[in-house]
Amino acid sequence: MPIYSEKVMEHFMNPRNVGEIENPDGVGEVGNPVCGDMMTFYIKVKDNRLEDVKFKTFGCGAAIAVSSMVSEMAKGKTLEEAQKITPQLVADELEGLPKNKFHCSNLGAQALNKAIKDYLKKKPKGGGKK
C-alpha cells in the first residue's frame, strides 16, 4: 500500500493556492527547517470572510498536501468558521495521513490560525478594513 492516500497525492501533485498575497491582511508562519517543515500562510479578509488564502511550504509531500487542503477548506469561510479548522479535520479531508507524519506535517491549520490572529491584532478597533 502506498504511504499516502490518493487525496494526499492529488493535492501534492496539484497544490491549490500556492503563492503569496501582495499586501496581505494577515500572515502566519509556523515550523522550522530543523523539524523538517515550514509553512507560511497569507490571507486577504473582506467582510469578515477569507476572500483569499495563499501559502508557501518547505517540506515533505504531506506538508504540501496539508497546506493545499487547508487553503481550500478556509477560502470563503468566515474568520470564526476558519478558526475551527483543526489538524484532525484536515487529516480527515485528506483521507488520512501516515501516523508518524501527523504532527510534523500537519501544521497548516496552525499557520492559518496565526495568520487570522495577525489580522485581528492589526485590525483597527471598531471598524473593519476597507
Partner 1 sequence: MRRVYLDNVATTPLLPEVREAMKPYLGEFFGNPSCIHDWGDAPREAMELARSQVAKLIGANPEEVIFTGSGTESNNFAIKGLALAQQNKGKHVVVSAIEHFSVLHSAKTLEKWGFELTLVPVDKYGVVNPEAVRKSLRKDTVLVSIMHANSEVGTIEPIAEIASITRQNNVLFHTDAVATVGTIPVDVKKLGVDALSLAGNQFYGPKGVGALWVRKGVRIMPLLDGGVQEGGRRAGTENIPAIVGLGKTAELAKADMATRIEHLTPLRDRLLAELPAKIDHVVVTGHLQNRLPGNASFCVSFIEGEAMLMLLNSQGVAVTSGSACTSRALKASHVLIAMGLSHELAQGSILFSLGLNNNPEDVDYVLEVLPPIVDRLRQMSPLYAKFTRTSKGGN
Nearer to partner 1, 1 or 127 (CB): 1
* Shortest Å, Cβ 128 to partner 1: 28
Q: Which residue in 3, 13, 35, 120 is the catalytic one? A: 35
C-alpha to C-alpha distance for 113 and 111, rounded to whole angstroms: 5
24 binds partner 1 (CB under 8 A): no
The reply to whether 60 belongs to the active site is: no
Burial 63-102 (b: 16+ CB within 10 A, else e): bbbbbbbbbebbbebebeebbebebeebbebbeebeeebe
Nearer to partner 1, 20 or 92 (CB): 20
Q: Per-residue contact track with partner 1, 62 to 101, x per CB under 8 A? A: xxx-----------------------------------xx
* Residues involved in catalysis: 35, 104
Q: Which residues bind partner 1 (CB under 8 A)?
A: 12-13, 15, 18, 20, 29, 33-40, 56-64, 100-101, 104-105
